[in-house]
């Protein structure tokens, strides 16, 4: 990651690297505080934490928007022929980050941070009480500030406001293409769902293991599963939070899940999902650790890595061949409910449900389609926050034929909008589609991957993912990465084929 110290580009480019190294370290500190907010912080700490987070975000913003950064980029660009491939890509990603930062004034950055912290705290209470009106004024403030930022970024990037907001999570995202892919699936879903439910009805009913499933035993099981995927707990933690997530830094992964003693599959699958995120972060190139080009290539690729582990690999017959006796031993249980075939049928059971994070992979995209429709309408000013619960219920009926009985099971279930993350949701289903492409390519490239998983060995899978996904970081675009790894740009075909094979052919 060095350049010729005697070249003109060296001084400018190296100074840019130092600016963005400091920015990355501030971001890491912010991430650890965010983890602490969700895992450890007492409710009374919310106001102080909001000040801390706003200060860190403002500091990072001021680093990037310093007038000298623009001058350094101009100088570096004038001597771009002296940069190697990674340095050129890094300069491109620096410019993208600079555009986003300079579009938004520092006071708006701080205001968004404060509003998000207040809304997140309000959301926790509102969700517990199923009281949307308790969240409404906070969410209205977050939305107003997000729209303001989206308008500013749209002017800077020369793109529609929603596209500019999506670009924060998926570089170069095109909402027209994204909506086309998602709405195509919305048209595909009814016939597929009918066929899957009919096929499922012809099969024997899976046997539900009887609980309770003690939470201490679940913790031990989940830790073992994460270790099996590849997490080293000398440099990782597994904790509990209201909403499962993965954070921290590559040398200090922070994974969370949530438990209830009436079932164990949800906590187990959440840990496998978050372990996929953590393994991606741990596989990014160390030489570019503190530079934009060394970051994960957007949330589509990030979600592809979590969903590849959770959905493609760990909801397979091969995985349960290994995992079923491990789970049975964890709970000192045996019998028909604990066979690999039965647990596989439970883990792939399809049934329209109200909660996104507990949805099966056939109906999960419907949850994303709904949220994408609603957030686009809110950003455009076509849907008022006050009308969100009703629009949510109507959308669930249209897509899945069910209506939430209360707001807790409806529009209060996700933390994303209170946190200001508008434009994030589409990456979940786009990630599922990328995961299907990558999994198919990996299995074709190495026939030992699935037999190894059946023995609890994820090493062959990781050996394929490291060079084809993880090590590339943000060197190339999402489509370029997928073309190199799978032969095709992002699309829904592999995902549809996967669903037909798993749910109609077996």
Contacts of 74 (CB under 8 A, 6+ apart): none
CA distance 432 to 364: 10
- What is the enclosing helix (H) or strand (E) of 115? helix 106-129
Verify whether residue 274 is a known catalytic residue. Answer: yes
Q: How many CB atoms lie within 10 A of CB 248?
A: 20
Total residues found in the chain within this entry: 506
Identify which of 67, 471, 463 has the alpha carbon closest to the alpha carbon of residue 285.
Answer: 471
Q: Of all helices (H) and strands (E), which one includes residue 248?
A: strand 246-249
Nearest to 374 by CA among 358, 354, 353, 396: 396
User: 106-129 and 132-157 are packed helices; what angle lies between their axes, rounded to 10 degrees?
Assistant: 150
Q: Which of 176, 177, 151, 179 is nearest to 165 (CA)?
A: 151
Q: What does DSSP assign to residue 361? A: T
Closest CA to 308 of 279, 283, 284, 340: 279
Q: How many CB atoms lie within 10 A of CB 81?
A: 7
DSSP string, 267-305: HHHHHHHHHHHHHHHHHS-GGGTTSGGGS-SHHHHHHHH
**Contact between 267 and 258 (Cβ < 8 Å):** yes
Q: State the catalytic residue, choosing from 274, 310, 318, 361.
A: 274
**How far does Cα 168 stand from its chain's mean position?**
13
Distance CA(438)–CA(156), nearest Å, equals 34
Omega of the bond leading into 212 within 30 degrees of 0 (cis): yes
CA distances from 175 to 17, 154, 183, 289, 416 (A): 31, 13, 12, 30, 19
The residues carrying an active-site annotation are 274
């Amino acid at each position: 990651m060095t350049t010729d110290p005697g070249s003109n580009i060296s001084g400018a480019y190296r100074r840019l690297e130092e600016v963005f190294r400091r920015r990355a370290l501030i971001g890491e500190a912010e991430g650890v505080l965010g983890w602490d907010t969700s895992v450890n912080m007492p409710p009374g700490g919310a106001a102080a934490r909001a000040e801390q987070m706003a200060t860190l975000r403002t500091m990072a913003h001021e680093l990037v928007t310093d007038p000298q950064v623009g001058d350094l980029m101009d100088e570096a660009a004038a001597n771009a022929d002296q940069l190697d491939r990674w340095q050129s890509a890094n300069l491109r990603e620096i410019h993208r980050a600079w555009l986003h930062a300079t579009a938004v004034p520092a006071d708006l950055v701080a205001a968004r941070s404060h509003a998000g912290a207040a809304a997140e705290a309000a959301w926790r209470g509102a969700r517990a009480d199923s009281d949307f009106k308790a969240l409404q004024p906070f969410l209205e403030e977050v939305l107003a500030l997000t729209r303001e930022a989206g308008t500013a970024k749209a002017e800077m990037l020369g793109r529609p406001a929603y596209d500019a907001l999506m670009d924060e999570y998926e570089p170069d995202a095109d909402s027209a293409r994204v909506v086309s892919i998602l709405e195509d699936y919305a048209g595909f879903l009814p016939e597929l769902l009918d066929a899957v439910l009919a096929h499922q009805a012809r099969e024997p009913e899976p046997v539900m293991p009887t609980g309770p499933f003690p939470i201490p035993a679940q913790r031990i099981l989940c830790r073992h599963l994460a270790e099996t995927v590849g997490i080293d707990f000398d440099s990782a933690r597994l904790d509990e939070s209201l909403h499962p997530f993965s954070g921290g830094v590559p040398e200090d992964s922070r994974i969370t899940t949530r438990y209830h003693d009436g079932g164990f599959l949800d906590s187990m699958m959440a840990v496998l999902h978050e372990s996929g995120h953590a393994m991606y972060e741990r596989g990014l190139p160390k030489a570019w650790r503190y530079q934009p080009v060394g970051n994960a290539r957007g949330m589509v690729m990030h979600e592809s890595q979590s969903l590849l582990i959770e959905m493609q690999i760990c909801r397979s017959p091969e995985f349960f061949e290994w995992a079923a006796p491990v789970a049975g031993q964890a709970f000192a249980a045996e019998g028909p409910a604990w066979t690999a075939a039965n647990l596989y049928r439970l883990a792939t059971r399809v049934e329209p449900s109200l909660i996104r994070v507990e949805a099966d992979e056939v109906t999960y995209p419907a949850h994303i389609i709904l949220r994408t429709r609603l957030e686009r309408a809110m950003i455009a000013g076509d849907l008022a926050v006050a009308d969100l619960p009703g629009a949510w219920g109507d959308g669930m009926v249209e897509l899945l034929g069910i209506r939430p009985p209360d707001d807790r099971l409806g529009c209060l279930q996700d933390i994303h909008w209170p946190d200001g993350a508008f434009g994030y949701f589409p990456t979940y289903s786009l990630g599922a589609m990328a995961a299907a492409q990558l999994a198919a390519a990996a299995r074709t490239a190495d026939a030992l991957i699935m037999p190894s998983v059946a023995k609890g060995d994820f090493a062959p899978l990781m050996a394929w993912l490291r060079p084809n996904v993880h090590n590339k970081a943000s060197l190339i675009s999402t489509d370029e990465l997928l073309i190199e790894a799978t032969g095709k740009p992002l699309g829904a075909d592999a995902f549809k084929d996967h669903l037909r094979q798993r749910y109609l052919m077996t």
